Amino acid sequence: MQGYGLSQFSSRQPLPGAVRYNFQLKPTGIRQPWDEVPCQTRYFQQRTEALKLARRAAQLFKTEIRLTEGYYPFHASGTYIR
């Protein structure tokens, strides 16, 4: 999974009132359980910003993305974006 990342899109520093969002990027066609996919964390003040980033990254990297909110990134529920 080298080369897949979100670092070019946003900073890791939380702003006041920001919420933690967890992004897991899995290349299309890979049959790997979500629990084994590494997680990257970003802070946003609005959920729409996180969704825009996830949609853009999914198109750019041709991946499936699971977006979860909070401190535990491996929730079964989340937003799945292709």
Q: Which tens digit of pLDDT belongs to each residue from 50-61?
A: 999 999 999 999
In the 3-class helix/strand/coil scheme, how is 11-71 assigned residue by residue? CCCCCCCCEEEEEEEEECCCCCCHHHCCEEEEEECCHHHHHHHHHHHHHHHCEEEEEEECC
Q: How is the chain split into domains, by residue range?
A: 19-81
Give residue 2's pLDDT: 47
Single pTM value for the model:
0.77
Q: Which tens digit of pLDDT belongs to each residue from 29-42?
A: 889 999 899 999 99
The one-letter amino acid at 3: G
